[in-house]
Amino acid sequence: MSSAVLVARGLSKDFTSGGQRVPVLSGLSLCVRPGESLAVVGRSGSGKSTLLNLLCGLQAPKEGLITVAGESFRRPRKSSERSDDDARWAELRRRSIGVVFQEANLMPALSLVDNVRLRAHLAGHATGGERGWLERLGVGAEADRYPDQVSGGQAQRAALAMVFAMAPALILADEPTGSLDRHTADAVADCLFAMQGDSGCALVLATHDSELAARCDHLLDLSALDPAGTE
Ligand SMILES: Nc1ncnc2c1ncn2[C@@H]1O[C@H](COP(=O)(O)OP(=O)(O)OP(=O)(O)O)[C@@H](O)[C@H]1O
Minimum CA distance residue for ligand 1 atom 13: 45
Closest ligand 1 atom to residue 42 Cα is 21
For the cut 60, the answer to whether the pLDDT of residue 180 exceeds it is: yes
- Residue 20 domain flag: no
- Residue 51 domain flag: yes
Using most ligand atoms within 8 A of CB, pick from 48, 55, 102, 103 the residue to mutate for ligand 1: 48
- Residue 43 domain flag: yes
Q: What is the pTM assigned to this prediction?
A: 0.92
Using most ligand atoms within 8 A of CB, pick from 26, 46, 54 the residue to mutate for ligand 1: 46
Tally of structural domains, the chain? 1
- Residue 102 domain flag: yes
CATH code for the domain of 100? 3.40.50.300
Closest ligand 1 atom to residue 206 Cα is 22
pLDDT tens digits for 186-197? Answer: 988 998 999 899
Range of the domain at 110: 34-60+91-224
Q: Exposure string (b/e) for 205-231, b if CB count within 10 Å is 16 or more?
A: bbbebeebbeebeeebebeeeebeeee
- Residue 68 domain flag: no
pLDDT tier, 14 (very low <50, low <70, confident <90, very high otherwise): very high
Lowest-confidence segment of 81-85, 87-91, 131-135, 211-215 by average pLDDT:
81-85
Average pLDDT over residues 105-132: 94
Please state, as a whole number, how many other Cβ atoms lie within 10 Å of the Cβ of residue 183. 9
- The answer to whether the beta carbons of residues 174 and 57 sit under 8 Å apart is no
Minimum CA distance residue for ligand 1 atom 7: 15
- Residue 135 domain flag: yes
- Residue 26 domain flag: no
- Residue 7 domain flag: no
For the cut 70, the answer to whether the pLDDT of residue 79 exceeds it is: no
- The answer to whether the beta carbons of residues 30 and 217 sit under 8 Å apart is no
Task: Write down the pLDDT at residue 76.
Answer: 82
